[in-house]
Structure 1
């Protein structure tokens, strides 16, 4: 099956949905492609999205798809994009899902597939992830306020994340899980804020159906904690656009200008497929809307020449 669209958007998280809605309202024929495997599927509630504080992330996605599909120029495929290649006057998207292959062509492609995450190798961490342990401090710290918390990380930003989290609790332990990621100067600075740095490796996180109880270290000591935050390893998983040769940064994410344009003409990116900022749905949605405006202006064409003529 093949079809032609003005814009194809890969990824139907908040960035992709926001871009799709704005572009279809700009009278563009838009294809939204998504495999429905969101990174935040373990999260029960999302926060900080105006008028939708406390909504399920899955419900937010469902509402966004329904709004988008209310327009005649909108189409949504639940499938996985396997490759995006150059085609005459645009791009070809090849997709495959559960044995069904599909293809489409579009003049412009917007990448909004976000990040894939890998949690530290702690056996029971996944069982508490999304309920008692989270990754986004801005999203979930309020609901853990004034509790004894852990912040776990094996990356050099652990001290920064611990300092940020101290806004919500004065009982905080930063666990490096044996990684050398907190400098002595950082540890001293955190100590002045009452934040303890624990450098021993973690054996497991422990608890029961009622919740998290603590973090057990390799020597058997358990440090009591009732909740926490973890810093996953993030990757872009952007192999499907690799044939286009777009420039990637050191984390494997697409390099864009201030308007979402990549180094490949007609290829754009929004949300966390570019260098990530705060891990909030509303931030991703805003990024999608901003890049959608750029795409529409670029498709109209002639605006830069008009500005030069006026000057």
Structure 2
């Protein structure tokens, strides 16, 4: 198969790009594994006209809109490799559970695969993840306003996150699980705001059908928390793109310029796998920018 653009990933970034490329009368192969990071999330917030929508519903609606254009094809598949060839790139993908293979040639590729995440205390957190506990403070902080909240993480940026969450509650405890780092200066600043830092390891997160209720600590103490936020560690799973030799930052994210171009001509990236804010509207905006830039870059080389 030959198309103008291969788009890898059918989240907000990939769907927005595919929609606008279709409206530029570009042929698009949209390839997606259908394994979104936000699968546990019941409601997404902050997307104009769709505030509170289910992420699954948003993806489904977006996919239906995109596929109403005859120049877009969609395949649920896992991309195994993208290789540079004369005139562009060849993308090889396989359908899950089969040996059926798709090979697509294109002069341009957009990477919009998002991220995978490693949760702190995963066996405990997953029970409440997406309901009582969330990862996006900007998306879900408003809905937790006034509650006794927890921030659970094992990284060195917990103080910064606590300051954002503090906007929504006067009762916040930061749990480092004995791993996360908060400096003495940051702890003093948080204390002045009424935020407690607890470095004791966590042994359980308990609750009932209504949601999380307590954080149980290794020394036997119980902190009543009805919800809060976790700080995952995110990873850009881009092994399939190793042959491209993309420039990555210290966190493994794909480096792009202000027009979503990567360090490899003809390859673009948008959404969570690039440095910046991880929100639906931001990802969709970056996908829209990428589509305009790709179209113009193709025109410039006579495509």
Range class of TM-score, shorter chain: over 0.9
Task: Provide the residue aligned with 1:256 in structure 2.
Answer: 256
Deviation at 1:272, TM superposition (A): 1.0
Contact 1:132 1:226 in 2 (8 A): yes
Q: Over aligned residue pairs, what C-alpha RMSD do you find?
A: 1.2
Task: Provide the residue aligned with 1:282 in structure 2.
Answer: 281
* CA displacement, residues 237-284 of structure 1 (integer Å, 9 cap, x when unaligned): 11110111111111111111111111111010001111131x211111
Task: Provide the residue aligned with 1:14 in structure 2.
Answer: 12
Deviation at 1:70, TM superposition (A): 0.7
Q: Secondary structure at 1:166's aligned position in 2?
A: helix
Task: Provide the residue aligned with 1:110 in structure 2.
Answer: 110
Runs of 5+ consecutive residues of structure 2 not aligned to the other structure: none
Task: Provide the residue aligned with 2:90 in structure 1.
Answer: 92
CA distance in 1, matches of 2:200, 2:259: 44
Shift in CA distance, 8/45, structure 1 to aligned 2, threshold 3 Å: same
Aligned length: 300
Counterparts of 1:65-80 in structure 2, within 5 Å, are 65-80=63-78
Q: Secondary structure at 2:191's aligned position in 1?
A: helix
Task: Provide the residue aligned with 1:294 in structure 2.
Answer: 293
Task: Provide the residue aligned with 1:26 in structure 2.
Answer: 24
CA distance in 2, matches of 1:243, 1:302: 23
Counterparts of 1:38-53 in structure 2, within 5 Å, are 38-53=36-51
Deviation at 1:122, TM superposition (A): 4.7
Task: Provide the residue aligned with 1:226 in structure 2.
Answer: 226
Q: Secondary structure at 2:117's aligned position in 1?
A: strand
Runs of 5+ consecutive residues of structure 1 not aligned to the other structure: 304-311
Contact 1:115 1:273 in 2 (8 A): yes
Task: Provide the residue aligned with 1:309 in structure 2.
Answer: none
CA distance in 1, matches of 2:158, 2:167: 15
CA distance in 1, matches of 2:92, 2:7: 13
Contact 2:153 2:180 in 1 (8 A): no
Contact 2:93 2:103 in 1 (8 A): yes
CA distance in 2, matches of 1:142, 1:128: 18
* CA displacement, residues 51-81 of structure 1 (integer Å, 9 cap, x when unaligned): 1111100000000011101111111111010
CA distance in 2, matches of 1:56, 1:49: 11
CA distance in 2, matches of 1:203, 1:35: 35
Contact 1:122 1:203 in 2 (8 A): no
Shift in CA distance, 81/290, structure 1 to aligned 2, threshold 3 Å: same
| TM-score, normalization by structure 2 | 0.97
CA distance in 2, matches of 1:71, 1:60: 18
Contact 1:125 1:204 in 2 (8 A): no
Q: Secondary structure at 1:271's aligned position in 2?
A: coil
Any runs of at least 4 consecutive aligned residues in structure 1 with deviations exceeding 6 A, and if so which?
A: none
Deviation at 1:180, TM superposition (A): 4.3
